[in-house]
Amino acid sequence: MPDITSSMFWIAVLQIIAIDIMLGGDNAVVIALACRKLPAEQRKKGIFWGVVGAIGLRVVMIFFALQLLAVPYLKIVGGLLLFWIGIKLMLPEHDDEHGNIDGGTTLMAAIKTIVVADAVMSLDNVIAVAGASHGSMVLVTFGILVSIPIVVWGSKLVLTLMDRFPIVITLGAGLLGWIGGGMLLTDLATPSAISKDLPYAHYIFAVSGALLVVLAGKLIASRRTPRAAVELPASGAPD
């Protein structure tokens, strides 16, 4: 049982909430699309039960992820995945990403769509939260419960902030790199001598992970932007 009076507990909770906000913005879009064909009086029910089902499934997925992270080398794999997720977060998104979300015409169909779509889209979230929780289901559950209203009702505000202030995206990506770097150090396969003999080993790994994600993300994004600028005029040129 973690000590809720500890500053480490609340830092971990804030990390989980930040992860849910950064990686859970799509959930509100999925919910809206899944419930758009429902009658007005059923939409609230669809949103409520869809969110309940999706969150319940996510907690179960995170529970199994926590068990798996106790196996040697899997934290290393999880850390590397977090690096990629953070880099991907910094890359431009496509507008048609949610085009395959089908709106249900019945309440059960809408709930099923929300739960299934959330399970498919939440792999990155599950890995990140499992890494930030340091093996504590109490932290996982508390962090997710606190972040529910933020994700569902505050996602539009968060998305607006991300559009206006790109630094928010950079900070979120850096957070994932920070957690990923820490996971590399705490894997059972990592020699314990590194953490014992290297001063401030955790901070060195965490900061290195954050810098790697941010710098790699900016580099890849800068290479993609000029290419898109060149291709656009070419596609519209007359034959």
Instruction: Report the percentage of the chain scoring pLDDT > 90.
Output: 8
Alpha-carbon dihedral angle through residues 171, 172, 173, 179, given to the nearest 10 degrees: 100
CB 195 within 8 A of CB 67: no
Distances (CA, A) of 148 to 24, 143, 153, 192: 10, 9, 8, 37
- Quick check: 200 pLDDT over 70? yes
CA distance 26 to 118: 9
Instruction: Report which residue type is found at 238.
Output: P
pLDDT at 95: 46
Q: Which 8-state DSSP code applies to residue 101?
A: -
Q: Residues 104-160: pLDDT tens digits?
A: 567 788 777 777 766 666 666 777 787 888 778 888 777 777 766 666 665 556 656
CB 22 within 8 A of CB 86: no
pLDDT at 239: 47
Averaged pLDDT of the chain: 76
Cβ-proximal residues to 217 (8 Å cutoff; 6+ apart), any chain: 86, 87, 88, 89, 90, 91, 170, 173
Cβ-proximal residues to 206 (8 Å cutoff; 6+ apart), any chain: 178, 179, 181, 182
CA distance 148 to 98: 21
pLDDT at 206: 92
Distances (CA, A) of 208 to 14, 77, 174, 216, 226: 21, 17, 10, 12, 28
